[in-house]
Structures are given as structure tokens and as C-alpha cells.
Amino acid sequence: MPSTRHLSATTAQGGETQAQSAGSSLPTMTQAKPFGWLLVITGTVGWLAAGTLVLEKLAVLQDPNHVTVCDVNPWISCGEVMKTWQSSLFGFPNMFIGIVAFAVVITVGMALLAGAQFGRWFWVGLQTGVTLGFVFVVWLWSQALYDIHVLCPFCMIVWAAMIPMFVWTTVRNVVHGVIPLPAKATRVVGDSGWIATALLYVAVIATIFFAFIQVFAGTSGF
């Protein structure tokens, strides 16, 4: 991955750092087009998963006996998760938040692919929104594993989409100076995006395994 060693100066339009020396370059995934594609892809995956959950939720509201497409067994069931208070934390189904939020992310990604440039305030806003979304997803993940004890496959797809979205939005904003860090820390962050993404995926898989180890071992008391 390209080094961020020579990142310097700031632009007049957003206060973002630019690679100005001839041999310097930003990490690939923090450049406009690759980052735009990442937002479009992760946003689309999240939007489709949230959209499927919306359709299933509407079907459940119409028919309380409706069996959702991901009701596999007592431990893998979107329908069971939908019955919990955690699924409507703000008084309405959480998936409606996803429909709106992921649509915004897709729009930002498409704008970047079209060549749009945004000021620092915009990137601060995007970072805030993505971070809040990531924190919310982590909370939902912890509730599913340690309180509800049921996994929702489409929820897990949303988790999977949020991880690279959050990591690379943060990395992008660090190397562009939106999130100011010392030069050495900026280099480390710039070179660690995929490592952080992989570690978070491993952490999620490991926590699922250990939380449901009795199920995997066939000794569950459920």
C-alpha cells in the first residue's frame, strides 16, 4: 500500500492534506474514485439488506404468523429479532434508519465518482454519521449475541458493510487532514486500513463463535 510519508500542505477548499511532491501518493483506498466505489458498494449492500428487513417487517405487521426468509432455526431468525425492543430502539423499526442512511452513503459515493469535491465540514459530518452508525451497529451486535441470543442474517450483512465503511472513512479523513494527527500516527493509520478491517471481521466471527459455542457443539440448552 502506498505510503503517506510525504503528505503535506492543505488545500484552500477543505483544509485537506494533499500529496504534493512528485513521488508521493495517498493510500489507494483514500483516493476519490476508489473511496467512492467503496461507499457505493458497501452502501448498496447495506441498503439491500435493510430494504429486505423493511419488507419482512411490513409482512410481519400484516401477518404476525409470517415466517421471514431468514427464519432458519431458533438461533438464526430475523422474525425473532424483530419481536425484541432492541429492533425498534427509537420507537420505529431500526431498518428504516438503514434505508435512509445507506442511501446517503451511496449518494456521496456516486458524487465522488462524478468528480465532486467537498469541504472539510462535509467530511466531518460524514465521519460523524458513519461513526454513530458504527457505534449503533456494535450495540446491536452485542445485544444479539449476549441478550437476545438470536442472530439475524440480514443484520449481519449490515454489520459486514459497516466495518469497511467506518474504517476507510476514518482512514480517509486522517490522511486528508480532516482528523488531525501527528505525521507518524497519520502514516500508521494510512497503512493499516485493511489490517483494521480484517481484525474487526475476525473479532465479529470470534465473538459469534464463542457466544454460540453450545449451539455449534450441539449442547445448547435452548
pLDDT band at 16 (very low <50, low <70, confident <90, very high): low
Condensed to tens digits (0 to 9), the pLDDT of residues 68-97 reads: 998 998 899 999 999 999 999 999 999 999
- Domains of the chain are 29-217 (1.20.1440.130)
On the question of pLDDT at 12 being above 60, the answer is: no
On the question of pLDDT at 100 being above 90, the answer is: yes
Q: Which of 35-44, 147-156, 183-192 has the highest mean pLDDT?
A: 35-44
Burial class of residue 5 (count of CB atoms within 10 Å of its CB; 0-12, 13-18, 19+): middle
Whole-structure pTM value: 0.86
Q: What's the mean pLDDT when you consider all of the chain?
A: 88
| CB neighbour list of residue 167: distance below 8 Å, 6 or more residues apart | 193, 196, 197, 200
Q: What is the dihedral of CA 87, 89, 90, 95, to 10 degrees?
A: -30
Torsion sign over Cα 168, 174, 179, 185: positive
As a whole number, mean pLDDT of residues 157-176 equals: 97
On the question of pLDDT at 6 being above 90, the answer is: no
Condensed to tens digits (0 to 9), the pLDDT of residues 101-124 reads: 999 999 999 999 999 999 999 999
pLDDT band at 220 (very low <50, low <70, confident <90, very high): low
CB 43 within 8 A of CB 102: yes
**CA neighbor of 29 nearest in space, from 134, 171, 182, 198:** 171
